[in-house]
Structure 1
């Protein structure tokens, strides 16, 4: 670039034949970008995954940097808080068991051959006497549903889930609908959700079973149908 009489002039590029060519800034920039976009200049560039990991690492670094400044005791305080969180998570994991993503709707209530309600109750009491509360809850819920089938308040149907049984039985016994839904949810939690039952849960189901034995059905809906 040269200055003539106080006026700035653009550089002149000589083409073939020694004729000066005036190249404006925009085409020159575009030409440079096209040149730099060639693969030969980007062979060692990080790939998409590497760039994403770099961004995540940068974000985590900033997060910890900000948290260490806000936490009492600085970085040491942050480490203590992190250890407390890990300990709480471990305690919850141990208490509740491994969480599972299985849908309760895919699991059927009865997984073996047909047995009577009395047989399920006997098995439930055997598990309860041995403090096997999870198995006791499962068997007591099966006893409840089998008893409703034996009383014709539910039609016997293979593949029925606990939720379906509770919903159908709740129409025939509306006064117990909420407890039936709760029982079905507790059955699903211990059977498909990896939860561990306790004595209190089993006693609730046993009490529900006893109350349902004495309950009179709603006359408008019996076994999923309408009575005259």
Structure 2
């Protein structure tokens, strides 16, 4: 008994077991058109990579003087070109992002005193506007230090700079000041949503700093007033 006769027992009677050329071609087309074969096809990226690898291999066969010594230097040059492109294009964007990571404390130069900023913060808190309350309360902290001549007034001072300068004057409060600056930045610059607890933390810090005498024992920072 042949293999074909065995298979014939499992196939419908009308299905030809020994097809001619045209019938076999039709079967192959129908079989390959099934979804599972389409999903198994390589993607455009796979084709691109394969074409590139084939091109590199072709360099090894073009003439007796070209061998693997030509392929690897070319691959290294391509890698170096990608690195240089990343340094030229990406790094400046990262640096500019770092420069904008901390927002200026005051939108514009103003003569408002710390008490006014505290009142603004309290009014915003009463309305449940915690974002405004946090921003105004942090400004009250910085302006209070300027009013007390703990730090000198400085145009365009960022929250990070203010925290560093105040931390120099009030060394034991450096961690709280750094956290206050991060909170200010995420609300003012990062557009994060503040909560009642955030405002209360800044309010307590403001009250605490108002009772302290500067020790100027923290890390050095520019913009400090001369100790008195």
Task: Classify 1:102/1:226 alpha carbon distance in 2 versus 1 (closer, same or farther; 3 Å).
Answer: closer
Is 1:140 the counterpart of 2:133 in the alignment? no
What TM-score, normalized to structure 2?
Answer: 0.53
Task: Classify 1:158/1:218 alpha carbon distance in 2 versus 1 (closer, same or farther; 3 Å).
Answer: same
> Equivalent residue for 2:125?
128
Is 1:194 the counterpart of 2:191 in the alignment? yes
Shift of residue 113, structure 1, vs aligned partner: 3.9
Give the one of 52, 71, 83 matched to 2:45.
Answer: 52
> Equivalent residue for 1:185?
182
Which structure shows the bigger proportion of residues in strand conformation?
A: 1
When structure 1 is superposed on structure 2, of 194-203 and 217-226 the one drifting more is: 217-226
Is 1:107 the counterpart of 2:103 in the alignment? yes
Task: Classify 1:225/1:139 alpha carbon distance in 2 versus 1 (closer, same or farther; 3 Å).
Answer: closer
Is 1:214 the counterpart of 2:207 in the alignment? no
Is 1:224 the counterpart of 2:224 in the alignment? yes
Correspondence 1:1-228 to 2 at 5 A:
51-52=44-45, 104-105=100-101, 107-114=103-110, 115-218=112-215, 224=224, 227=227
What TM-score, normalized to structure 1?
Answer: 0.53
Is this contact kept in 2: 1:102–1:193, CA < 8 A? no
Q: CA deviation digits over 1:138-157, x for unaligned, max 9?
A: 00000000000111111100
Is this contact kept in 1: 2:152–2:225, CA < 8 A? no
Q: CA deviation digits over 1:88-147, x for unaligned, max 9?
A: xxxxxxxxxxxxx78544631100341111110010001000000011000000000000
Shift of residue 158, structure 1, vs aligned partner: 0.6
Residue ranges of structure 1 left out of the alignment (5+ in a row):
1-49, 56-100
Q: CA deviation digits over 1:66-96, x for unaligned, max 9?
A: xxxxxxxxxxxxxxxxxxxxxxxxxxxxxxx
Q: CA deviation digits over 1:9-66, x for unaligned, max 9?
A: xxxxxxxxxxxxxxxxxxxxxxxxxxxxxxxxxxxxxxxxx933988xxxxxxxxxxx
- The alignment yields a C-alpha RMSD, in angstroms, of 2.8
Is this contact kept in 2: 1:121–1:139, CA < 8 A? yes
Is this contact kept in 2: 1:220–1:226, CA < 8 A? no
Task: Classify 1:106/1:183 alpha carbon distance in 2 versus 1 (closer, same or farther; 3 Å).
Answer: closer
